[in-house]
Amino acid sequence: MAGTEIPKKAEEAVTLFSDKDWWAGIGAVGLKITAIIIIAVIFKYVIQAVIANIFKVRLKSPLRLSERRENTLYKLLNNVATYVIYFIAIIAILSEFMDVRGILAGAGVLGLAIGFGAQSLVKDIITGFFIIFENQFSVGDTVRIANFEGTVEEIGLRTTKIKNWTGELHILPNSSITEVTNFSVHNSIAVVDVTIAYEEDIDHAQKIIEDVVKRLKPEYPEMVKEPEVLGVQMLGATEVVIRVTAEVLPMTHFKIARELRRILKHELEKAGLEIPYPKMVTYTKNTKSKENKNKMEG
């Protein structure tokens, strides 16, 4: 009996593979799947182009949101559109092989089970939604989250990407973001401490510094207000510290502080005012003269 079943199955297989209608069905399914994939890819790029054009129009509108907010929503909508299109494409492909109505009917129960098993994922998505809804930070902002500091590259529903100034990209789950320091919301303050030697005239030095900073604002558009000389900040061991502050645009305080130090150093040197630096005084005891003095007394 077993020996007669094998030739029978082989004969059925030969009959199946030689059936033109069977091959035609396989070819039709393959063409449908290929068409679905091509249409999904094309539709994805069309949707992304539509979203890009919508935001271009919004940039010219007087009622537009902030540029940071626009960039965040733009990337988020692109991600959501991509997920939705790919999900629909996968369902359409599966429908060529099976009845997906049962799968969709059981999606609610399956989703509930997955929700209990993937609570961290659900928490990531909920936290990501509130980050965007509350506008805690946006794409392009410079932030500090825990031990990571850098520029926000992308805010997704599950993760946030932060790029450090040295090039490292940190990918953080949204649920881990509990405290955020945003450096890009309000103006920054550039702080420069100028040291003057005790031997110099402090009032004269402060007057020179005030004259210098008054003419700097037109040269640097990053300055929101004219720099202010606060006066003597500290009396050090070898120097007097005069503090200068300037309100500048967000995250430009490093640049302005460097420029202020460079300009003030040149101007103080022109005025002949010495900036103190560490000095060493060497004292040599003259032992020979002491010995000769003792001999003469003896």
In this structure, is residue 32 part of a structural domain? Answer: yes
pLDDT over 50 at 272, yes or no: yes
pLDDT over 70 at 3, yes or no: no
In this structure, is residue 139 part of a structural domain? Answer: yes
Beta-carbon contacts of 206 under 8 Å, excluding residues fewer than 6 positions away, are 229, 231, 232, 242
**Residues 93 and 8 occupy one common structural domain:** yes
Q: What is the pLDDT of residue 243?
A: 92
Boundary-marking domain end, from 155, 182, 209 = 182
**Residues 26 and 100 occupy one common structural domain:** yes
Q: How many domains does the chain have?
A: 3
**Residues 227 and 263 occupy one common structural domain:** yes
Stretch 151-160: mean pLDDT = 82
pLDDT in tens, 20-45: 666 666 777 778 888 888 888 888 88
CATH number, domain at 145?
Answer: 2.30.30.60
| Alpha-carbon gap, residue 193 to 245, rounded angstroms | 9
**Residues 173 and 207 occupy one common structural domain:** no
In this structure, is residue 114 part of a structural domain? Answer: no
CATH number, domain at 69?
Answer: 1.10.287
pLDDT in tens, 177-204: 888 888 888 888 889 998 888 888 888 8
In this structure, is residue 115 part of a structural domain? Answer: no
Three-state DSSP class for residue 64: coil
CATH number, domain at 228?
Answer: 3.30.70.100
Confidence of residue 2 (pLDDT cuts 50, 70, 90): very low
**Residues 134 and 196 occupy one common structural domain:** no
- For residue 182, which phi and psi values (nearest 5 degrees)? -105, 120
The model's pTM:
0.53
**Residues 32 and 88 occupy one common structural domain:** yes
**Residues 88 and 160 occupy one common structural domain:** no
In this structure, is residue 209 part of a structural domain? Answer: yes
Q: What is the pLDDT of residue 67?
A: 62
Three-state DSSP class for residue 244: strand
pLDDT in tens, 96-121: 776 666 665 555 555 655 555 566 77
Three-state DSSP class for residue 103: helix
The answer to whether 190 and 205 are in contact (CB under 8 A) is no
Comparing C-alpha atoms, which of 183, 224, 222 is closest to residue 68?
183
Structural domain that includes position 239: 188-270
**DSSP per-residue letters across 129-169:** HHHHHTTS--TT-EEEETTEEEEEEEE-SSEEEEE-TTS-E
